[in-house]
Amino acid sequence: MRVVILGSGRGSNAEALLLAQQAGRLGRARVVAILSDKPDAGILALGPRFGVPASYVDPAPFKTKLEGDGETRFINAVNSFSPDLIVLAGFMRVLKPAFLRTFEGRIINLHPSLLPSFPGLDAIGQAFRRGVKITGCTVHEVTLEVDAGPILDQSAVRIESSDTIESLTAKVHAAEHALLPAVVARLSQS
């Protein structure tokens, strides 16, 4: 299974996938490319470190979505790696119909809450401020409705009275780093 990772940030979830691959825990999956919409994103530094092509793709003209020429550039860049699976790992853009149609049924996202609770931005902060006792992370299929696709798996994280937003964020990230590689490995076996 050929996997392309899309990310916008430091790449800790992409690194978890690459470390799992290195350790032989990614099933039949193999990360074949890392693409980012930010030229200085930390995720791009993972490419040389793990021997995987890593490239910036110009997403213009919009800041929060892929549309128009930016969407076409991303479709072409992703297609050039013949992916079986596209993993959104901290990719901070809303995907539009043309991209979703091109890769229908092959895009998954990692979200830092137990969906359907706390979709959208700042999910960990939303859960913390709301005072819930359990939050976590979700891997789901990507559909037109943001953070609403079929859920593939989830991992729960207890919020303790001693937690701060920083400690809760660290706990959710640790759960993400375990969950995402496990889901990709399972998908590679089906």
Residue positions annotated with a catalytic role: 111
Please count the residues of the chain. Answer: 190
- For helices 165-189 and 12-22, the axis angle rounded to 10 degrees is 40
- Distance from C-alpha of 186 to C-alpha of 133, rounded to nearest angstrom: 29
Cα 22 from Cα 37, distance rounded (Å)? 25
> Which of helix, strand or coil describes residue 174?
helix
Q: Are strands 107-111 and 85-88 parallel, antiparallel or unpaired?
A: parallel
- Measured in whole angstroms, the distance separating CA 81 from the mean position of its chain's CA atoms is 18
